[in-house]
Structure 1
Amino acid sequence: MEGLIFIAPLAGFISLVFAAFFAKGVLKEDAGSKRMQEIAGAIQEGAMAYLNRQYKTIAVVSIILAFLILFLLNDGMKIAVGFLAGAISSAAAGYIGMSVSVRANVRTAHAASSGLEKAMSVAFRGGAVTGLAVVGLALLGTSSFYILYGDVNLVVGFGFGASLISLFARVGGGIFTKAADVGADLVGKIEAGIPEDDPRNAGVIADNVGDNVGDCAGMGADLFETYVVTALAAMLLGSLIINTFENAILYPLMLGSVAIFASIISVFFVKIGKDGDIMRALYKGVGGSALICLLAFYFVTDALMGDIRLYYASLVGVAIMVLMVVITEYYTSTRHRPVESIAAASETGAATNMIAGLSIGFESTLMPTVVIVVGILASYFVVGGAADSSIGLYGIAIAAVAMLSTTGMIVALDSYGPITDNAGGIAQMAKLPADVRKVTDDLDAVGNTTKAVTKGYAIGSAALGALALFADYRIKVNLGEQALSLDDPVVLVGLFLGALLPFVFSAVTMSAVGKAAFEVVNEVRRQFREIPGIMEGTKKPEYGHCVDIVTKAALHEMAMPGFLAVAVPLLVGVVLGPKALAGFLIGIIAVGLMLALMMDNGGGAWDNAKKLIEDGAHGGKGSEAHKAAVVGDTVGDPFKDTSGPALNALIKVVNMAAILFSSLIIGGGFF
């Protein structure tokens, strides 16, 4: 069985080969007219310039942390090398995906002239490049370092590097995209009364750039680290039950390997049927991937573990994935009650729109939490957790790994969103015919739902993965199962501090978006006021000024959230001790999950309520309901694209930091 370990890096490499294959196919497509290429070139230049500046900033932080790891931890050299490799791989996942997305957008816009099927194919294949690059790099890196070191505890550095870059990518990209979006919408739609993506709006290029750095590079780095961290959590727990199951460490990697082949095969399932339903076509890929995994997991489990109960745990994980997708679509799609209720509430103004949106956001936490709770209990007890808690915890980790089996397809769906959003913007700015614009609008409407669905999937997987990480931390610092009593004030204090951090973190990120959007609003107003001919279309706005504003804001404001994520848990552990930090981790997992669900789903519902009205419901564009919906969407934007998704990364960064620096915390604290 030892030779099977080499299947994992091979599967990762094959995934990267297919990513390159799909990228080549997309780039062969016609990029359209000179005007279309000029617009796409501006988006591409802005996106790559921002990402280059962001990674240079993050590189400095990463090098400093690598030196701290080197000198503070045992085997510091190996862990530091893994940390840097994880950081580089996470950055590469986002970079590869975005470099293709900013080229696929204009090709999708041009393909729309040939019809819906052609345009959807180009957009999805562009997204598939990101999906396959993410899972390929994740599995290749994790398995290679395990093979190299032979000790899963030394691979934790790789996971911490991935988590840290994910947090910076999520926060920085989220601030960039939503500051540009909010600023452009407030002046363009509400004050000037011009359409979205109108070339007369000075913020429009920054907005289109932001779609890529937030939803493509950000989500790519996010699910890269989720994949790595979840696999690591299962492998760490597997090392505890190695005497019962000799392949317990290898098993998660083999599940990931067969899942990659399932994703590659399922890309070819995505085709629009005679009904023209885009969402159904995309779900064919997700469903095909899940079904292939379910079949393959049985044979992998039987061959490696010889215990069918672990297969049942993987079934639980896939079921959670399906239910999270269905529930998230229900709360964020224009076809269901939640979005319709927000759109209807907009008829009486912005205040009632806001109340309805907040209500839907709060309500949307119920069903996902029930699904996760039932999934945790089912995966724990189905493998015999009542008799052996270590095996039960391993069952939960396997459910989390199985939930991530469709990551390749889910990331493809997410990256499809910014590609189609940009395609619509290019079609608008290049003044393409109405029938072409209708195709890009249809693609974009589905893209809003797919982006929301992937966020729900990401936070659900984070909850399961973080629970496994918490179990790893508790074991590393030698805390018995009875040590975490709420009668102990130290544990309770840690719990309160952990519950507090998501709110402080969200306050910092929301404030950053608000401040940057304020500057964009003033800049767009200035240009309308001081540059004659913009509104008449005889003079081009100075797009670069807005891009520069949000770039500087994103790079400056992402420092504090990153500092909070690493410094606060270490401070709690060193000052208050390992029990307080355990309470802290429980608090951040529970509250972070609820707050992220509320923000992601509420923001997505606000966004699509605006889209529903723009499609003609409740008075249509220009109506009072539309103006109110724009206000709601403006508030919901940083909810769903900045603070909410960043909480997903925060939860795992904090848990990974606790595990990585556990040796400094053991025996520490004044209590």
Structure 2
Amino acid sequence: MGLLLLAPLGSIVALLFAWYLSRTVLKKSEGNDLMKEIAKAIREGANAYLKRQYSGVALFFAVMFVILLIIALRGYLVIFVPFAFLTGGFFSGLAGFIGMKMATNANARTANAASESLNSGLRVAFSSGAVMGLVVVGLGLFDLSFWYYFLSWWYRALPEAARIQNVTSAMLTFGMGASSMALFARVGGGIFTKAADVGADLVGKVEVGIPEDDPRNPAVIADNVGDNVGDVAGMGADLYESYVGSIVATSALGVAAGYGVDGVTVPMIMAAVGVVASIIGTFFVKSGEKAEQKTLLKALRRGTYVSAGLIVIISYFLVTSILGKENIGVYFAILIGLLAGIIIGLSTEYFTSDSYKPTKELAGTSLTGPATIIIGGLSLGMLSTIVPVVVVAVAVLASYFLSGGTESFNKGIYGVAISAVGMLSTLGITLATDAYGPVADNAGGIAEMAHLPEHVRERTDALDSLGNTTAATGKGFAIGSAALTALALIAAYKDEVDLIVKKEGLSFNMDLSILNPTVLIGLFIGGMLPFLFSSMTMKAVGRAAQNIVFEVRRQFKEIKGLKEGKQGVKPDYAKCVDICTRGAQKEMIMPALLAIIVPIIVGLTIGVNGVAGMLAGSTVTGFVLAIMMANSGGAWDNAKKYIEAGNHGGKGSDSHKAAVVGDTVGDPFKDTSGPSLNILIKLVSMVSVVFASLVLHISLFK
């Protein structure tokens, strides 16, 4: 219990350093009056969107709270689950909200700092991203620590083994709240940002022939708002949920493996160590004035590698002192998770960055029109799934056997789960490099709209281009961690079922054989689920984007002098923001509910064996489909930027127009459907765990 105090202390340290960084950023100047005006419009749009989203999501949480409370009162759940569900959702939403507020306050400051030097712009954008990363880990550790200490006190009369088992079993279920909020944030934010982006590009770049972020484009403010509500608030809620989910799943599996309190202590302290390592890493992020991709990328990587190196050293002493040198395999599982995260990130970068062959070749296919660049992007995305799948497979196998899987199945599965914690241990700084992207993107837009000098635009363009790469790498990292976390949650689901059966004396044995018809049916349903979900989210973006296209066309047609850029003539930015907001709120409901309803229906009809099959099916296809979509979208985006840099005809050429079409296809791939699949495969697991007792009692198939 003594060492576990480091978890709440780590939470406090993370939140205090995030506060310090936020004060440092906010002391910077926003620039001239026009820059302040643009930044204010983006802030107001983002605040209005999140206010409407959180109002709608609050209603969902109220209904779910009542349902969970009724189930708990009937004896199918621990009474704390409905309340833990609320706290999980609240802190997940709060992490995203704080990150979004910081990003919308840092965009103009980044553009203005870039007028001083490239390094100044990088530091402001990265610091705002670090606020997001540290808030996510800080709030996550706070929520975990609160429930651990409260539940330990509540079950204090029980023997230690029974107490820890009850504590971890109850904690496992509150991840459902975090997952639910994350899915709403990701889907809603993704629909908003891509509807605005697609609408702005199709009319502005292709039809009218004006530059990106041109102030004449009515959808330009909505596009900048979308970067924040989708890629900052959505990503924050997403990785908060992965972070918390991996720790609670590992804690629960640690009890099953026979480690008791020590099995809970290791992942919790790993998270606290990760906070300190991430903070130290932030001080190593700095660059010179050479505005090259590789130079800037090296600056960001330096911080991440320093943090990872510290984790490698400290976790050795942590594992050997808590679990003993005889369990040194757990340490190697942590290293494997760290290494797997780095390799998946590098693989994503290779397939999506215009510094490498795949994206350069993809840009070349634009010379023969939109069809060939779309075919090339789909092919590239499919090919890019090989490395992450092999890496995760090797990580699972190695973690399982090194942690003692040959002598104990539960010890091996604990090793797989702890490797996910290892991968996410540097989340504070990894998320900072991801959240940095939208800030840099907004800074470039503000520099364009405020007509800042050319050298400033060159610097913000360099920061923005780097942001595309870090965002793609961040998505790869998020997907990889989601796969490992989902595998840990499937194992935790099996343990939860076994625990309920033993506790209530039920006559039931899990049969997870591939020849069991219910498992096979579950596999097919689970395999289909990511495709159905992606179809719904893609169509949602398409419908919302159509409305933006019509509105932008209307304004160019009806507002005299807008297309020509006459002085004093301004588009109606607010109208496009409102269309995106209303569209996103309406369209996000069904995809989000799908992840909650399907596991319950499957459980009540074909039982817990069918649910286990469904979880396996959705994890496999969801993981592969998410990688393919994220990498195709990232490659299309950077192929367009490669052409805009003066290759294959440059801006305004036919190849550029073809690349813009490819990019608009890729937008919902990489920023809506792809990243939302991370949450889908974890949320179905969380829902399955929460409703396991109910399914065991009233399912048609026992």
TM-score in same-fold range (> 0.5): yes
2:666 aligns with 636
1:358 aligns with 378
Letter in 2 for 1:176: F
Closer, same or farther in 2 for the Cα pair 1:534/1:621, shift >3 Å?
Answer: same
Q: Residue 282 of structure 1 aligns to a residue in which SS?
A: helix
Kept in 1, the 8 Å contact 2:119–2:289? The answer is no
Kept in 2, the 8 Å contact 1:576–1:668? The answer is no
Paired residue for 1:117, among 104, 119, 130? 119
2:434 aligns with 414
1:527 aligns with 555
The C-alpha deviation readout for 1:267-313, integer Å capped at 9, x for no partner, is 10101147651110000111011001111101111111112111111
Q: Residue 96 of structure 1 aligns to a residue in which SS?
A: helix
Kept in 1, the 8 Å contact 2:199–2:549? The answer is yes
1:312 aligns with 332
How high is the TM-score relative to the length of structure 1? 0.98
Q: Percent of aligned pairs with the same residue? A: 52
Kept in 2, the 8 Å contact 1:578–1:668? The answer is no
Residue 597 (structure 1) shift = 0.5
Letter in 2 for 1:490: T
Letter in 2 for 1:325: G
The C-alpha deviation readout for 1:109-154, integer Å capped at 9, x for no partner, is 0111101011111110111100100011011111211111121111
Paired residue for 2:149, among 147, 153, 156? 147
Tell whether 2:133 aligns with 1:131: yes
Distance in 2 between residues matched to 1:163 and 1:588, nearest whole Å: 16
Residue 488 (structure 1) shift = 1.7
Paired residue for 2:286, among 271, 294, 298? 271
Moved more, 192-201 or 73-82: 73-82
The C-alpha deviation readout for 1:406-432, integer Å capped at 9, x for no partner, is 111111011100000000000000001
Paired residue for 1:211, among 219, 227, 230? 227
1:574 aligns with 604
Distance in 1 between residues matched to 2:187 and 2:117, nearest whole Å: 36
Kept in 2, the 8 Å contact 1:466–1:651? The answer is yes
2:80 aligns with 78
Distance in 2 between residues matched to 1:375 and 1:199, nearest whole Å: 48
Q: How many residue pairs end up in the alignment?
A: 669
Equivalent positions of 1:96-495 (< 5 A) are 96-150=98-152, 151-242=167-258, 244=259, 246-273=261-288, 277-306=295-324, 307-478=327-498, 483-495=511-523
Moved more, 574-583 or 515-524: 574-583
The C-alpha deviation readout for 1:601-657, integer Å capped at 9, x for no partner, is 110001000000000111111111111100000000000000000000101110000
Q: Residue 115 of structure 2 aligns to a residue in which SS?
A: helix
How high is the TM-score relative to the length of structure 2? 0.94
Unaligned runs of 5+ in 1: none
Letter in 2 for 1:64: V
Kept in 2, the 8 Å contact 1:477–1:665? The answer is no
Letter in 2 for 1:552: R
Q: Residue 485 of structure 1 aligns to a residue in which SS?
A: coil
Letter in 1 for 2:576: C
Kept in 1, the 8 Å contact 2:538–2:668? The answer is yes
Residue 76 (structure 1) shift = 4.6
The C-alpha deviation readout for 1:46-104, integer Å capped at 9, x for no partner, is 00110111111101101111111111034554111111111110011001111010010
Q: Residue 63 of structure 1 aligns to a residue in which SS?
A: helix
Distance in 2 between residues matched to 1:365 and 1:251, nearest whole Å: 32
Residue 241 (structure 1) shift = 2.3
Distance in 2 between residues matched to 1:383 and 1:417, nearest whole Å: 37
The RMSD of aligned alpha carbons is 1.2
Kept in 2, the 8 Å contact 1:5–1:147? The answer is no
Q: Residue 256 of structure 2 aligns to a residue in which SS?
A: coil
Runs of 4+ residues over 4 Å off in structure 1 = 273-276, 479-482
Residue 344 (structure 1) shift = 0.6
Kept in 1, the 8 Å contact 2:173–2:689? The answer is no
The C-alpha deviation readout for 1:256-277, integer Å capped at 9, x for no partner, is 1101100011110101147651
Paired residue for 1:612, among 623, 627, 642? 642
Letter in 2 for 1:340: K
Letter in 2 for 1:40: A
Kept in 2, the 8 Å contact 1:578–1:667? The answer is no
1:498 aligns with 526
Residue 576 (structure 1) shift = 1.0
The C-alpha deviation readout for 1:471-505, integer Å capped at 9, x for no partner, is 11112223999711222221111110001110100
Unaligned runs of 5+ in 2: 153-166, 502-507
Letter in 2 for 1:35: L
Kept in 1, the 8 Å contact 2:493–2:688? The answer is yes
1:57 aligns with 56
Distance in 2 between residues matched to 1:220 and 1:78, nearest whole Å: 25
1:548 aligns with 578
Letter in 2 for 1:138: G
2:157 aligns with none
Kept in 1, the 8 Å contact 2:21–2:131? The answer is yes
Equivalent positions of 1:506-525 (< 5 A) are 506-525=534-553
Distance in 2 between residues matched to 1:160 and 1:482, nearest whole Å: 23
Letter in 1 for 2:83: V
Q: Residue 292 of structure 1 aligns to a residue in which SS?
A: helix
Q: Residue 540 of structure 1 aligns to a residue in which SS?
A: coil
Kept in 2, the 8 Å contact 1:364–1:597? The answer is yes
Letter in 2 for 1:222: D
Residue 669 (structure 1) shift = 2.9
Letter in 1 for 2:337: G
Distance in 2 between residues matched to 1:280 and 1:270, nearest whole Å: 9
Distance in 2 between residues matched to 1:15 and 1:235, nearest whole Å: 22
Distance in 2 between residues matched to 1:126 and 1:384, nearest whole Å: 42
Distance in 1 between residues matched to 2:289 and 2:557, nearest whole Å: 50
Distance in 2 between residues matched to 1:419 and 1:651, nearest whole Å: 28
Residue 661 (structure 1) shift = 1.0
Tell whether 2:611 aligns with 1:592: no
Distance in 1 between residues matched to 2:290 and 2:306, nearest whole Å: 19
Kept in 2, the 8 Å contact 1:70–1:76? The answer is no
